[in-house]
Amino acid sequence: MPVLRRENTRPPRSPRRRPTAGILLAALSLLLTLPASLAQAADTPARGSAHMGMGVLAHDGRDGTPSTGDATQTEGVDVSSHQGNVAWSTLWNSGVRWAYVKATEGTYYTSPYFAQQYNGSYNVGMVRGSYHFATPDTTGGATQANYFVDHGGGWSRDGRTLPGALDIEWNPYGAACYGKTQSAMVTWIRDFLNQYKARTGRDAVIYTATTWWTQCTGNYGGFAAANPLWIARYAADPGTLPAGWGFYTMWQYTSSGPTVGDHDKFNGALDRVVALANG
């Protein structure tokens, strides 16, 4: 009897396709760029963590030891949640006589250490004020001025309260100029300053660095007549000031001072600090 053979009914296998050169290159490119993008995201600080001078070292660097010559200067500090609870008596005993405290950022953040820092500096005898870290890419200038005044940025004529300060500098969360043109940045700043004065009766202090101001406002000089300048530069002197200002009122000269990192000089004796407080 003949043996019946079973026919193979499976379809023939298709030849295995090899990845094309284009696919391989695309995959390799993804692998090479992915770690960099993840590192960039990891390096971006959390919203609310910004503080005065955060970008100065990265963009302006440090150059030399501060020297004020024979000019009378009054030592000050600026603090934020970055410093936590501050030893105000230690600072007072070291000669610090005035302070600025971060109150707000954008319209989404208030410092959890504001009360300890703002009241603590006052209670130890200092003349003190508060500052707002501007984020022009999130909300308008007038809106942020209102938020600042409503959350610690007010002013009273008690001889111990300085006018509020607008901290306008490099964007720690993205593009240096917050995605704005120079003219749009000037408009944003003007809106903030006008609204702050409407709410408090005072012209706000402008804190900035000359290199940022030049890059992001086109070195605009129109605020110099009314708004005191607080210049940031970690060097032997304040250097070239932004257009319009013939002198600085305050100078942040280091981020590595004793007790608290950010130390400042007021361009005058203590009675001039009190004069600014009184308007």
What are the angstrom distances between the C-alpha of 223 and each of 20, 35, 159, 258? 61, 44, 25, 33
The single-letter DSSP state of residue 46 is P
Tell me, yes or no, if 70 is annotated catalytic: no
Tell me, yes or no, if 78 is annotated catalytic: yes
Question: 7, 60, 70, 78: which is the annotated catalytic residue?
Answer: 78
Contact (Cβ atoms closer than 8 angstroms) between residue 238 and residue 211: no
Task: Determine the number of helices (DSSP H) and then strands (DSSP E) in the chain.
Answer: 8, 11
Question: 105, 169, 262, 264: which is the annotated catalytic residue?
Answer: 169
Tell me, yes or no, if 169 is annotated catalytic: yes
Alpha carbon distance 221, 244 (integer Å) = 4
Helices (H), 99-218: 114-123, 141-150, 182-200, 210-217
Question: 105, 167, 203, 262: which is the annotated catalytic residue?
Answer: 167
Alpha carbon distance 103, 164 (integer Å) = 10
Active site members: 78, 167, 169
